[in-house]
Amino acid sequence: MSAPNPAERLKKVLPVPYTKYLPDILRRNYGRWVDRRFHGYGIIEHISETGERVFTVKVGTPPNFRFATSTLREFAKIADELGIGALRFTRNGNIEIMTDSLDKATKIKDAVERMGFPVGGWGPTIWSINSCTAFLTCTTAVVDAPSITKALYDALKPYFTGEIPLPAKLRINVSGCPSSCGGFTTDINIVGHYGDAPTYDPERIKLCLPKSAKALEAGHVPEVAEVCPTGAIKVYGKPDGSVGLDVIRSKCIACGRCRDVCDWMDFDASKAGVAILLGGKASNTGRGPLASAQVIPWVPAVPPEYREIVAVVRRIIDEWRRDARQGERIGDWLMRIGYGEFYRRLKIPVTRWNQPPRLTGEFGIRQFFQKA
């Protein structure tokens, strides 16, 4: 968009210096930005030592960052007419449009809001609700993560725009399956899982097993059993020389890995739901980086509004808002009050599936420096 001649962009010469297509104001101030100011929760003013200023408007996007080409053209038009000819898609799945005055930034905000897209996501707000592709492109999905993300965004929009203030930054991830792509370092991690052990057709399952028990005697472990993280799938030789399979229900955690490698492992879709994990973050603030921990093993996933999931997430956010200190992320708040106290406040029963994690110490870079 910022190239003088769009046809030049088709001439791929690699590697391309990332500064090549930067607008002039960004190129000449590269490495010179010394300060910033917030104008609401969706506009940042970047200040250069040269005195020049650039304003960035942050726009929330749909799940999976999926847009019609006509919508993308409209964003590009806004960036050209009101901005400096630059927009980008961030790692968190938002769009940032840059301009050179606060007046134009405000007009950009008004324009994208008229298109139906919220502006916000900086400071003590929801920065993003990320989603995996789920059924759109993935073979391991259990629940439709993008539609859950959409329901959450609809319900939690005031937390993104800053209309309802939060104690600190909040990131939410929705994963369609227990692989939880990219979600274990988010404040709230919603993970789809089957909720019960699988069953199988005794004839069709043979397609995933060795033809002869002699293979087992030689040490071969079929993949459908090998991928099970808890040893819940047992394969054995039968008296007739064939191979049998049993699922030990007490060991099964319904992760679905067996289903990933064998189409004939069958889970009951009516029992599919999500687990809620809390407290993850990648930043070095507070106690440093933390992995999210499972606090609610199962919540039903009932489309299209997913009211149960939305209600649980809202309840967690509201309790955090009520009690957290300024700048305290959910993970740091949980470490301060204790998971047991959190369970008590939200009346969450403790089972073997959500035992409080035993985390102590600080994991950030500060541990490498001598404390004063």
For residue 332, give Cα distances in angstroms to 33, 131, 152, 277, 355.
31, 24, 23, 14, 18
3-state class (DSSP) for residue 50: coil
Please, where in the chain does CATH 3.30.70.3340 lie? 6-114
Helix axes 307-323, 330-337, angle to 10 degrees: 70
| 230, two tokens | 């808890």
A 10 A CB-CB count for 53 gives 19
CB-CB contact of 64 with 131 (8 Å) = yes
pTM assigned to the model: 0.84
Asked if CATH classification 3.30.450.40 holds for the domain at 6-114, the reply, yes or no, is no
Radius of gyration of the chain (CA): 25
Where do the DSSP E strands lie in 132-260? 170-175, 188-193, 199-200, 233-237, 243-247
Tell me how far apart the terminal alpha carbons of the chain are, to the nearest angstrom: 51
CA 229 – CA 227 distance, rounded (Å): 6
| 231, two tokens | 């040893």
In one-letter notation, the amino acid at residue 152 is L
3-state class (DSSP) for residue 236: strand
The DSSP call for residue 228 is -
CB-CB contact of 109 with 92 (8 Å) = no
Structural element, H or E, at residue 134? none
User: pLDDT value at position 62?
Assistant: 87
User: pLDDT value at position 359?
Assistant: 62
Digit-by-digit pLDDT tens for the chain (372 residues) are 455 576 766 666 777 787 888 899 999 999 999 999 999 999 999 999 999 999 999 999 988 778 899 999 999 999 999 999 988 988 888 999 999 999 999 999 999 999 999 999 999 999 999 998 888 888 788 999 999 999 999 999 999 999 999 999 999 999 998 888 778 889 999 999 888 899 999 899 999 999 998 988 888 899 999 999 899 999 999 999 999 999 999 899 888 889 889 989 999 888 889 999 999 998 888 888 888 999 999 999 999 999 999 999 999 999 999 999 999 999 999 999 999 999 999 999 998 888 888 765 555 555 555 554
3-state class (DSSP) for residue 310: helix
Backbone angles phi, psi at 17, to 5 degrees: -55, 130
CA 180 – CA 306 distance, rounded (Å): 19
Architecture of domain 199-266: 2-Layer Sandwich (3.30)
Please, where in the chain does CATH 3.30.413.10 lie? 126-195+269-368
User: pLDDT value at position 367?
Assistant: 53
3-state class (DSSP) for residue 341: helix
User: pLDDT value at position 372?
Assistant: 46
Backbone angles phi, psi at 20, to 5 degrees: -60, -40
Q: Which of 274, 264, 280, 293 is nearest to 134 (CA)?
A: 274
Class of domain 126-195+269-368: alpha beta
User: pLDDT value at position 9?
Assistant: 65
CB-CB contact of 282 with 130 (8 Å) = no
CB-CB contact of 326 with 167 (8 Å) = yes
| 64, two tokens | 């999976």
